[in-house]
Structure 1
């Protein structure tokens, strides 16, 4: 019996699943994937076809690593961040309209950079299918450069990563050596990069340009399908909950969605006064939703609520400070109240392929580099709540298929 090699298995998977995707696109008159500017930046695919797409990406990733071999796959591959950062910083994608072309000299003049640098940066980007050179010295848009030109939040995200997260990550190991086991948000790779003893959040907040860029970048991240609030709204057993407090709920988008889904729930949205300032309560939620100023590092002022929701907050903090945020809820908790954390829950080791686990594991290290923060798995969440108070009981994790975020729920039995 002849055993099929792993590389042949992977190539067969790629062929089989690509054929399924291609047949779906053809049957629905959708464009085949292309870097032509006529191709839409993203296609909405049904779950089964999305699964086929993911299978292709996963198999391709493993096949590439196997073909490179142990040594070449150990060395980081060429990275597009150098040129992508330049495209965003110098507004190169916006220097001429998609559908038109320009020479390197014309682009350089429009972007106020030397022509030789412009040429080098663009040809590096072209190696990643960003822009093309249809004839010598002439530059045209591809679908990727068009997306950068026409979808501003993409540029904000690139700018935030390039300016804040990547530089911090290059000094992460230095910070770990300088401040072993530190949980302080000002003892980080970011602190070393920018020679500051002020935490990243405060540094960026003091700079209006960087603050706006970070805000737009976070909006872009939270707009991804995997962070859709409907996963939370439709998969948590709200029951006849009376009062819900959304701690750190920004301008109330999540609280409003919950209130509309569960009409028996009253919602209080809390965030710093400068965050909620100017936010209006929609007419259909008058009397059922209110916004109040509150810093979650101080004692919770709303007593006796049924659920205290903390969404996309605790992964921004080390265990020391996450414990303080949770501890500040305790004086307000009544017996049977639930604390609901809507945040990433890392899968157990080996549960995902290297390809699928790479992004959440990278996010974990990025968070440490900028804030000494962390992503947590179910054991980490259990340990965190137990460290705050053993009267937090019955921890349950709900992870809806397709969602980037899980629901980590505990009951207060004090």
Structure 2
């Protein structure tokens, strides 16, 4: 039990510090008596891995996977599987048949790997975030006890990945760009240990003014939904997983989604740097009719981007997904691919992001990449 609690702490700390993922994956592998694990975000169609966190697996074999074997028997078996569902490789593809594949020869055989536990954690269009724990042929197939471990961890892994994407937006706070967080596309409410609201951004305040939310205490207009929300907040404040719920809007015209997640020490430290103290729990409120676009001028002002850099940033993260290639953006913007790559490197440095996936998460959270044309200008400022 103590080992599981330590792993949960690592999983949630990894949302705020992605460099902890290899440590968390190695700890999960140890608990499941396995060789190691990996968590990655990729587009199979674009044949590109946007990020990967490797817990003790062979890096040369990982490169062989990215260069030649993103389409393989295991990835094909995972297509269409529900998010959060545990899939054991031996249940979807026999090891004997797998040995006849180039994927086995190039990626698995050099490591002695023969078994894999897989969970899809996030997906949108062709972009996927996946969790894998690998076991050697000598160790044999996963047993019932390992299945229970993975199934218990699955919701926490999913929430940590989601929270990690959301928390990317708080880099704006660290870079003295508080006005950007004020204009985020989603409502953000931070709750202290006593259950009091210590911060709410402009969008959240708008939802309170409409009557969908209440801040004293944090609740909704509906008593049953308020009890559910209070239960999720208590869970998050107690160090548990929190959760997700939907609540009807004040006029009952639509459902508003609320994601509740506890903030661990590392995220709280980031917020203290922005003079937000005592935050222990975060609520992200997604209202489909309140999503809006803020102009790229805010990126220019907050991060010191040139207008050309802001245009490239928006184009490369079109739709909030890291799936646009440099050549496609170059064609759309009338630039050379090398110029786009140069601008993108500067954007990464100025925004503090470590790749296209983090940049896309930042721009999506801030609402920059919605409804823009190739020039990086807003084509529709109406609320959706």
Calculate the TM-score normalised by the size of structure 2: 0.30
Which of the pair has more CA radius of gyration?
1
Calculate the TM-score normalised by the size of structure 1: 0.28
The structure whose RCO (Cα within 8 Å, separation 6+) is larger is 2
Q: Which has the higher strand share?
A: 2
